[in-house]
Amino acid sequence: MKTKSDFLKMKETNEPIVMLTAYDFPSAKLAEGAGVDMILVGDSLGMVVLGYDSTIPVTMEDMIHHTKAVRRGAPNTFIVTDMPFMSYHLSKEDALRNAKRLMQEANTNAVKVEGADEVVDIIRALTKAGVPVVAHLGLTPQSVGVLGGYKVQGKDAESARKLLNDAKLCEQAGAIALVLECVPKQLAAEITKQLTIPTIGIGAGDDVDGQVLVYHDVLGYGVERVPKFVKKYANIQETIHHAISSYVAEVKLRQFPESAHMFTMKEEALVALYG
Ligand code: KIV
Ligand code: NA
């Protein structure tokens, strides 16, 4: 399994870090099999697998449940688990207790928290306690209500300056990596240049140390509309729709099952049974 030092080395040697989300056993197994460097059990699971319309309803129990399944599917991949909404804001103690559960019960390798300001102290406390932390700046979906929608962040000089400063504070507090979501590519490039830790972008351009995308977006699986920064590498939902429709039609028409799918008794047994 790759570690924090490997990711640092990848930044130094300019080898892109590939991160993908996964939420269950098969997605984790496929991600590991395809050679992703890091798996994120994102709280995006609230939307893509649980059907909520934001990440706000996601709970610690959800994150533990899904991380356990991901770990079983990807025993040899570095896993980062999102700390869900309000699981690291009430107090330092609460944040530590929740991170402890993700590491001990779910066997994750690191946790991810959104934002700076008060969260910087939480990053420091978790790091001091031995919990590797990935920071997340730019568009931070847990604050969507405060940000006023899913919008690009850091477009003007003032907010760009704050973002760059926040990134440095996260690094100083001990973050092992930084996710940058929906920020202009020039700003992401500057942050990447000024930080020692790797930056992992989603909608942050090509001058970052790695990329992360949501599993379902990459596969075109159960998602209607995808953001501008997504590249759909497949259209799995079309394949699934076709397969299930064929199953429905064949059962209705009594074309399935065919003899190849059936179990039969030997002739003697039938005679003994019915005479
Ligand atoms: O929850 C998630 O999938 C994320 C990524 C989009 C970075 O936080
Ligand atoms: Na997330």
| pTM (predicted TM-score) | 0.97
The single residue listed with the structure tokens 């050679």 is 35
Q: Is the CB of 203 under 6 A from ligand 1?
A: no
- In degrees, rounded to 5, the angle at the alpha carbon of residue 103 between the alpha carbons of residues 100 and 126 is 50
141 CA closest ligand 1 atom index: 8
Q: What's the token pair of residue 32?
A: 């590991």
Model pLDDT for residues 88-108, shown as the tens digit of each residue: 999 999 999 999 999 999 999
Which segments in the chain show pLDDT lower than 50?
none
Determine if residue 112 is labeled as part of a ligand binding site. yes
ipTM over 0.90: yes
> Atom 8, ligand 1: which residue's CA is nearest?
42
Determine if residue 44 is labeled as part of a ligand binding site. yes
Predicted local confidence at residue 275, as pLDDT: 83
Cα distances from 230 to residues 121, 214, 233, in angstroms, run: 32, 9, 9
Q: Is the CB of 182 under 6 A from ligand 1?
A: no
Structural contact between residues 108 and 102, judged by C-beta atoms closer than 8 angstroms: yes
Predicted local confidence at residue 224, as pLDDT: 84
Determine if residue 114 is labeled as part of a ligand binding site. yes
Q: Is 36 exposed, middle or buried (0-12, 13-18, 19+ CB in 10 A)?
A: buried
Tell me which of 118, 171, 181, 238 is the catalytic residue.
Answer: 181
Structural contact between residues 163 and 187, judged by C-beta atoms closer than 8 angstroms: yes
Q: Is 231 exposed, middle or buried (0-12, 13-18, 19+ CB in 10 A)?
A: exposed
Question: DSSP readout, 159-181?
Answer: HHHHHHHHHHHHHHHT-SEEEEE
Domain with CATH 3.20.20.60 in the chain: 4-234
Model pLDDT for residues 18-42, shown as the tens digit of each residue: 999 999 999 999 999 999 999 999 9
For the chain, the distance separating the N- and C-terminal CA atoms, rounded to the nearest angstrom, is: 63
> Atom 1, ligand 1: which residue's CA is nearest?
42
Model pLDDT for residues 208-233, shown as the tens digit of each residue: 999 999 999 999 999 888 899 999 99
Q: Is the CB of 19 under 6 A from ligand 1?
A: no
Q: Is the CB of 212 under 6 A from ligand 1?
A: yes
Structural contact between residues 66 and 23, judged by C-beta atoms closer than 8 angstroms: yes
Return the CATH fold of 4-234. TIM Barrel (3.20.20)
Predicted local confidence at residue 225, as pLDDT: 86
Of 121, 145, 179, 170, residue with least CA distance to 55: 145
Which of the 8 DSSP states describes residue 192? H
Q: Does 181 qualify as catalytic in the annotation?
A: yes
- Name residue 82's beta-bridge partners: 112
Which of the 8 DSSP states describes residue 89? S
